[in-house]
Amino acid sequence: MKLTLRLAWRNLWRNRRRTLIVVMAMAMMMSFLIMYDSMILGFETAVYGNAIKLSGGNIQIRANGYADSYSPNPMLPMGNGLDVVQAAEAQPGVAVALRHANTGGLVTNHEGVFPVGIYGIEPEKEKPVNPVMQDEFLIAGRFLQIDDEDAIFIGKGLADAMGIGVGDRIPLSGKNTNEEMSKRTMTVIGVYDINLASLERQVVYISLKAAQDLYGLGDNITEVILFTEITGKENPIVEELNASLSGYEISTWKSAIPELSSTVEMKNAVMTGFSAVLLGIAAIGIFNILLMAIYERTKEIGLLGAIGLKPREITLLFLVEGIMIGFVGAVVGTVLGYLITSVLGIFGLNYGFAVDMIDYLALMGTHIYPAFDINLTLQRAGMVALISSIAALYPALEASRREPATALHHV
Amino acid sequence: MNYILKMSFRNLMRNKRRSVFSALAIAIGTALLLFMSATIRGEMRGSLDLTINLRTGHLQIHAEDYKDANMSLKRADMIEAPLDISNQIEEIPQVKAASPRLNISGILAFKNETIGVQIIGIDPPSAANAIYKDGMVSGEFLTSDDREGVLIGLPLAESLDLGPGDSIDLILNTSEGDTDEQRFTIRGVYTTNTPGYDKATIFMPLEKAQTISRTENHASMIYILLYEMDDTAAVKAAIHAPGYIIEDWEELNKLIILVEQLSNAMMFFFNLMVLGVTSTVIMNTLLMAVYERTREMGILGALGMKGKQIRSLFLTEATLLALGGVIVGLAIGVPLVLYYAQVGFFFGDLGISANSSFMLGNSIYPHPTVGDVISVSLAAFLITILSGYYPATQASKLEPVEALHSNN
């Protein structure tokens, strides 16, 4: 057996060019497969990532009882949330954990009554990651600051509907911990515009401290929102968090925005189905090339037979070679695929050329950042190695059964 | 040239299995590309069609300040004497139906359940309601003079165990800023096969809706369906409705169209990956073939064949493979796509909310276009020939004397 291994390894490198072509074919195909898979993951983040950030983040951690509550914005204190933030940010894949004190309420003026969600946020932490708080969307005033007390940050949609601007004062009522309405007059400190009027009308931002004071929360917050690095891979994070945190309800955007989730899932089901076909094409290619590589050596097989190797031993030798080359191809392919995906993951693929969407900049990016999935890649690598073993077995069996004399005369 | 064609054809025939496998890779690649583009196109088109039929129509007329998301009932945001306008519009030949609609937000109360719903006042005889009329599951469709009848969707009826004849309470907003509650009788149950929409949309006759919301002789919008989507611009120009604004489906469905553009842009990259795999198969197979036949090349060279001719020999082989592969690919792909375009992939209830601007039915119907077939075939064809270029160049560079001495 040891001899067979040594022979096989040596055979592999005896004809370097041939082996290189086979390995190159496997590696290139694997890279394409890996890029395809990683683009499916990146697709969700590119198209829906910001929409998810705007409508409640990838993962929400709240006090028990939230899901069973009838109210869309129940006031359930969950402690100061610092331990939750720490636990969440320790998880790989979590980009940031944000503390919110949210409640439902109203803003009123002579134009009418406008129901809004009131988000109490930590300005310094929210600013870099919240899509609406990017400099390019600020059309007037400034962003919230940590010690702002009666300042409110609103969207253009609401400002237009109410006919107000920076510096104007509006009464804000919100449900407090006793299920009663607390009222306070706030000054508009800044206005953002992401060109989604209906969304802008639904949410106002105040500082966490102001929210806690207004609603009698003390040190408490009502939710911790997590943004993950990759959209669509929340489940493992949720499992980890469920194990390390107790007494909280953890949900993902999939339950919060089912219509988006179903769209994404449908698209993924379709694209994954297609990737199976793509794997089939790669399999045919690898099979074909390996068959060529072995039939090319019919004469050599005859020679081995002539010097006394049994058909079984010849088959074994070629099978081992097939496994080895498959292994080498899979390793090179994985490394190559990883490198390409990582580079693309840093720079992103620009698809902005085809889309005229300046209007929805906050909602959708112009780049797709492929994301590498190690498990899927290992599956692909396994398939490549398996195909190459099968591809090696078939011609080796056939060739080893030939009469050495005829095989030797093969041209 | 003729003999090069003959030689390359013979070369392919000499190793039938290899040629068949290579062509098969191209064929499956072509079929996959075709299927992918048709499916994505079909998905987007399906959701656009559905949204047009259920919510936006091909064209809408409404007051300048009306916003669908608000369901405002202020007089200033509404259309006065809507039936006069819609009857006028229906005289335009390309218009299939024009019908006033009144949107009211409200709450359905039944036993202990309270569910937020949108109530749409419709003009029952109008052809614009065909999608709901065709989808009646049980009971009767509404009549114009019905004062207490409503239609509810199948999922709502199932979850509350309601049927024709049962009573429900509806709490509706009125134009005066307060609410009104009234008991209604379910006349019938409809389905549009869009669970999210059906779950939260209740229909009642326009007149009754106007009475209860105190918006007599007003409507939120006039909903217009055309026979052909392509006539939209012409009809839009032909409509005369001073004081109101006319929006077409492109303006009403900006987000869907945006996502469609986005999907198309991204499909470009997915297509590249498929072409990449196919081209790898071809390139490496041909490269292997070149080295396998080194001695043969040497003989050809020694007989006086020039490098350029050897290169065109291999390129011709690649072209023949591409031709065969693409033809077989189309032979597999086109019937398959056409079949699924009829049957559709079934996905089941995906739980999409009624107010979402992005609606999907429970099936995807791939939508192949001639343009897709041509561009996909062309791409597969060109990529294959391009992949043959490197191996062909390698072959043309071989020195006859060295090649003759090669082991292969």
Single-letter amino acid code for the residue at A199: L
Structure tokens at B86: 């819609």
Interface pTM, i.e. ipTM: 0.74
Q: Measured on CA atoms in the order B195, B196, B202, B203, is the torsion positive or negative?
A: negative
For residue B165, the model assigns a pLDDT of 92
CB A33 within 8 A of CB A293: no
Which chain A residues are closer than 8 Å to B69 by Cβ? 197-198, 201
Residue-level pLDDT at A70: 47
Among chain A residues, the shortest Cα distance to B69 is held by A198
Contacts of B25 in chain A (CB under 8 A): 281, 284-285, 288
Cα–Cα distances in Å, from B387 out to A25, B286, B318, B395? 12, 9, 8, 14
Strands B221-226 and B95-110: antiparallel
Q: End-to-end CA distance of chain B, in Å?
A: 27
What pTM does this model have?
Answer: 0.73
Residue bearing the bigger pLDDT, B1 or A11: A11
**Residues paired with A153 in a beta bridge:** A190, A205
Q: Do A274 and B36 touch (CB under 8 A)?
A: yes
Q: Cα separation of B332 and B59, whole Å?
A: 39
Kind and range of the H or E run holding A86: helix A82-89
Beta bridge partners of B249: none
Distance from CA of B268 to the nearest CA of A (A): 9
Cβ neighbours of B263 in A, within 8 Å: 47
Angle between helices B307-343 and B16-51 (to 10 degrees): 40
Identify which of A282, A285, A355 has the shortest CB distance to residue B262: A355
> Which one of A253, A274, A300 makes the best mutation probe of the B interface by having the most chain B beta carbons within 10 Å?
A274
Q: Do A266 and B350 touch (CB under 8 A)?
A: yes
Cβ distance B227 to B66 under 8 Å? Answer: no
Per-residue confidence band for B323, with pLDDT thresholds at 50, 70 and 90: very high
Residue with tokens 């003729």: B2
SS (H, E, C) chain B: CHHHHHHHHHHHHHCHHHHHHHHHHHHHHHHHHHHHHHHHHHHHHHHHHHHHHHHHCCEEEEECCCCCCCCCCCHHHCEECHHHHHHHHHCCCCEEEEEEEEEEEEEEEECCEEEEEEEEEECCCCHHHHHHHCCEEEECCCCCCCCCEEEEEHHHHHHHCCCCCCEEEEEEECCCCCEEEEEEEEEEEECCCCHHHHHHEEEEEHHHHHHHHCCCCEECEEEEEECCHHHHHHHHHHCCCCCEEEEEHHHHCHHHHHHHHHHHHHHHHHHHHHHHHHHHHHHHHHHHHHHHCHHHHHHHHHCCCCHHHHHHHHHHHHHHHHHHHHHHHHHHHHHHHHHHHHHCEECCCCCCCCCCCCCCCCEECCCCCHHHHHHHHHHHHHHHHHHHHHHHHHHHHCCHHHHHHCCC
Q: Would you say how long chain B is, in residues?
A: 408
What is the pLDDT, as a whole number, of residue A66? 77
Indicate the residue type of B387.
S
User: Does residue A119 come out as left (phi exceeding 0), alpha (psi in the -120 to 50 range) or beta?
Assistant: beta
Tokens describing residue A79: 């402690």
The stretch B157-173 carries a mean pLDDT of 86
φ and ψ at residue B330, rounded to 5 degrees: -70, -35
Residue-level pLDDT at A253? 83
d(CA A410, CA B105): 83
- Tens digit of pLDDT for each residue in B186-199? 999 998 766 667 87
B213-235 per-position pLDDT tens digit: 888 889 988 999 988 888 888 88
Task: Sort out which chain B residues have CB atoms less than 8 A from A43's CB and list them.
Answer: 266
What are the tokens at A256?
């919060």
User: Could you tell me which chain B residue has the CA closest to the CA of A370?
Assistant: B269
Is beta strand B59-63 parallel, antiparallel or unpaired with respect to B244-248?
antiparallel
Interface touch B280/A285, C-beta < 8 Å: yes
Chain B residue numbers touching A270 (CB-CB < 8 A): 39-40, 43, 345, 364
B285 to chain A nearest CA, in Å? Answer: 6
Q: What percent of chain B has pLDDT over 90?
A: 18
- Among the partner residues A284, A296, A360, nearest to B21 by beta-carbon distance: A284
Looking at chain A, which residue has its C-alpha nearest residue B271?
Answer: A36
Question: A293 vs B288: CB contact, 8 Å cut-off?
Answer: yes
DSSP type of residue A158 = H
- Given this model, what pLDDT does residue B366 score? 84
CA distance A235 to A58: 10
Q: What is the 3-state secondary structure (H, E, C) of B66-121?
A: CCCCCCCCCHHHCEECHHHHHHHHHCCCCEEEEEEEEEEEEEEEECCEEEEEEEEE
Residue in chain A nearest B347 by alpha carbon: A266
The DSSP output letter for A179 is S
Mutation for testing the B interface, residue in A257, A270, A290, A300 having most B CBs under 10 Å: A270
**Chain B residue with minimal CA distance to A113?**
B177
CA distance B85 to chain A (A): 28
Average pLDDT estimate for B114-134:
85
Distance (Å, whole) CA B29 – CA B330: 10
Residue B31's nearest CA partner among B345, B234, B329 is B329
Q: How many CA atoms lie within 13 A of B381 on its CB side?
A: 15
CB A94 within 8 A of CB A228: yes
Q: What is the DSSP letter of A81?
A: -
The burial class, CB within 10 Å (0-12 / 13-18 / 19+), for B277 is: buried
Q: Distances in Å between the alpha carbon of B229 and those of B226, B232, B272, B341?
A: 6, 6, 32, 19
Strand A112-121 relative to strand A94-109: parallel, antiparallel, unpaired?
A: antiparallel
Instruction: List beta partners, residue B106.
Output: B117, B172
> Residue B408's pLDDT is what?
53
Question: Residue A257's pLDDT is what?
Answer: 63
* Beta-carbon contacts below 8 Å between A and B: 163
Say if the Cβ atoms of A265 and B350 lie within 8 Å: yes
Whole-number Å distance between alpha carbons of A189 and A403: 90
Q: Angle at the Cα of B152 (from B253 to B121), degrees rounded to 5?
A: 60
Query: Between A70, A266, A288, which is nearest B347 by CB?
Result: A266
Chain B hits for A260, Cβ within 8 Å? 358
Instruction: Select the residue of A29, A296, A353 nearest B280 (Cβ to Cβ).
Output: A29
Which tokens is B370 given? 């001639």
CB contact under 8 A, A266 and B281: no
Greatest mean pLDDT range, B164-168, B236-240, B289-293, B303-307:
B164-168
Q: Which residues pair with B205 in a beta bridge?
A: B122
The alpha carbon of B198 is separated from its chain's Cα centroid by a whole number of angstroms, namely: 20
Whole-number pLDDT of residue A168? 92
Q: How many CB atoms lie within 10 A of CB A86?
A: 10
Q: How confident is the model at residue B151 (pLDDT cuts 50, 70, 90)?
A: very high
Chain A residue with the nearest C-alpha to that of B280: A25
- A280 neighbourhood in chain B, CB within 8 Å: 28
Specify whether the backbone of A265 is left (phi greater than 0), alpha (psi in -120 to 50) or beta: alpha
The pLDDT profile of chain A, 411 residues, written as one tens digit per residue, is 788 888 888 888 887 888 888 888 888 888 888 888 888 878 777 777 777 887 788 999 988 877 765 455 667 888 888 888 988 898 888 999 999 998 877 787 776 667 778 899 999 998 888 888 888 888 999 999 888 888 999 998 888 878 888 999 998 887 777 767 788 899 999 999 887 776 787 789 999 998 888 888 888 998 999 998 888 788 889 988 888 888 888 888 877 666 566 667 777 777 778 888 888 888 888 888 888 877 778 788 888 888 888 888 888 888 888 888 888 888 999 999 889 888 888 877 776 665 555 555 556 666 778 877 888 888 888 888 888 888 878 877 876 777 777 777 766
> A270 vs B364: CB contact, 8 Å cut-off?
yes
Instruction: Scan for tokens 């994070």, then name that residue.
Output: A237
Neighbours of B239 (CB within 10 A): 18
The rounded distance, in Å, linking the Cα atoms of A194 and A357 is: 12
- Could you say which of A35, A265, A296 has the minimum Cβ distance to residue B408? A296
